[in-house]
Structure 1
Amino acid sequence: MLLVSSFAVAQDLELALWPDEIPNSRPSDEKEIQDKNGILWIRQVQIPGIEVYLPVPQIATGQAVLICPGGGYQGLAFDWEGRQIAKWLNSKGIAGIVLKYRLPNSRSIETSYKAPLQDARRAMRLIRSRAEEWKLDENKIGVMGFSAGGHLASTLGTHLEMEENLRGDEINKLKAKPDFMVLVYPVITMNSEYTHQGSRNSLLGQNPGEELVKKFSNELQVTSETPPTFLVGTSDDEVVPVQNSLRFYEALVNSKVPAEMHIYPKGGHGFAFGTGQYYLQDWNEILASWLQNLQE
């Protein structure tokens, strides 16, 4: 299914991820809910998809970023940590592609923890399938995630061998691994000491087994195959402790994965671009330099 926006030029596209049957799903009476109260908040996603924002050809670098908005695996802060990020990436010549992924607390999902990763993997493959059409370099496609979306992004970059058992089409044969990761105040661990409990409960349930907790504690899943990573967070984050970023960074360094981390003393959680928060609002320009260096 292809939905084209009202723009005359195909710079905003909406694409459903799954053309036919959505894997790991079951019938329910749920319907998607969108609330706009300062931030566009999407819950109970039924048809996962992507919104595609392409830069003007004159400045296009060939890079693309799949953006995973946060929301504790209970909802999606879709414009705050999605659309505005995509449009900023466009200003740097980078395609920004916002992922509307299924949320594990949905009654429309059979196995909760599988659905977000299935959607993220499919999105990466779908982007690569359109690389020529969208003038992208299929080896310069990364993922960016905020908060619980950071957990999903880091899962995409570390769970490289997780069984999928999806019905085959040509898109499912393409590479799902991102070429780089950008993790912004991310949830990383499911260990109860430092996790975001709401995200853990939504993804794994109230009483997950030790094996499942370990599997989705992504600092434990880092290997030398993990893509280069950029992390940003704050020391005073009272929602997702900064130890999530610190532990992931340490794991990256120990595995000799190129990594860069910026931890600010203040800023709390959910700051997105940090507009109006003095030096914190410059973190995205530091990211822009990092992304440019990846091209060299």
Structure 2
Amino acid sequence: MTHQGWAAGPDTPLWDAQRAMRIIRARARETGVDPSRVMVMGFSAGGHLAGSLTTRFAADVYPQVEAADSSSARPDASVLVYPVFTLSQPYTHGSTSRNTIGADPTESDLATYSIGSAVTEDAPPVFILHAANDQVVPVENALMAYDAFRKAGAKVLLHVFEHGGHGFGMRGIDADPLHAWPGLVRDWAVSEGIYHPIVRRPDAGLA
């Protein structure tokens, strides 16, 4: 089966994500990136990809192209925002499932490409964020994700807002409880040692 013309099929997005992580680490010295503090974040269908990288970072999905491909593709932390966690009904997002494994997937496809099937204790720390009234990607995806990572022994934190629907971002939420979510992610990243905030001296000015 091909995936939108790509011979790697459903593994094509994971191929890209693994390559991206490995190239970031391989070029860390020249770009000034700390290769031990690389976090992945994904929203909705992107949350499925980020979750796939979080759990299948070591999967052999493409042939080695260059020396960079010997670097680890494991994220040091992962943020999954209203993620598509399962590709099975009744809780999947239909177009994400169809675009990933087709309209008539086998049980094997569903098991392989639903994130929960590959969760292990080797997963990096995971932050999951969702809204309870999401009508596009049901909140059950986040609940299943939390349960799967917790049962596997991975570090996981779940935050569910009462409302917000699907696709909330950072604009237009100043007067809403949703405004807290970027800070929640930042504080969690600090606690996990992924993000080191810059502390300005009172006399440092704005420069």
| TM-score, length-scaled by structure 1 | 0.62
Q: Choose the corresponding residue for 1:122, options 8, 16, 19.
A: 19
* Per-residue deviation, residues 152-198 of structure 1 (Å, max 9, x unmatched): 00000111442224143111111111111000000010111210011
- Which residue is equivalent to 1:288? 186
* Per-residue deviation, residues 175-227 of structure 1 (Å, max 9, x unmatched): 11111100000001011121001100011001011001011111222111111
Name the CA distance, whole Å, in 1 between partners of 2:64 and 2:152. Answer: 34
SS of equivalent residue, structure 1 residue 260:
strand
Name the CA distance, whole Å, in 2 between partners of 1:262 and 1:153. Answer: 17
Contact 2:58 2:73 in 1 (8 A): no
**Structure (1/2) with the larger strand percentage:** 1
Q: Which consecutive residues of structure 1, in runs of 5 or more, have no partner in the other structure? A: 1-24, 26-103
* Per-residue deviation, residues 253-286 of structure 1 (Å, max 9, x unmatched): 1122111111011000011225326110210011
Change (3 A) 1:165 1:280: closer
- Which residue is equivalent to 1:255? 152
- Which residue is equivalent to 1:187? 84
SS of equivalent residue, structure 1 residue 230:
strand
Contact 2:131 2:139 in 1 (8 A): yes
- Which residue is equivalent to 1:8? none
Identity of aligned residues (%): 35
Equivalent runs, 1:80-229 vs 2, <5 Å? 104=3, 106-107=4-5, 109-229=6-126
- Which residue is equivalent to 1:98? none
Q: What amino acid is aligned across from residue 193 of structure 2 in structure 1?
A: Q
Q: What amino acid is aligned across from residue 178 of structure 2 in structure 1?
A: L
SS of equivalent residue, structure 2 residue 182:
helix
Contact 2:41 2:50 in 1 (8 A): yes
Name the CA distance, whole Å, in 2 between partners of 1:264 and 1:278. Answer: 10
Q: Choose the corresponding residue for 2:166, options 269, 288, 293.
A: 269
Q: Which 4+ stretches in 1 moved above 6 angstroms?
A: none
How many correspondences in the alignment?
193
Change (3 A) 1:240 1:274: farther
Q: Which consecutive residues of structure 2, in runs of 5 or more, have no partner in the other structure? A: 195-207
With CA pairs under 8 Å and 6+ residues apart, which has the higher RCO, 1 or 2? 2
Stretch deviating more after TM superposition (116-125 or 217-226): 217-226
SS of equivalent residue, structure 2 residue 128:
strand
RMSD: 1.8
**Structure (1/2) with the larger helix percentage:** 2
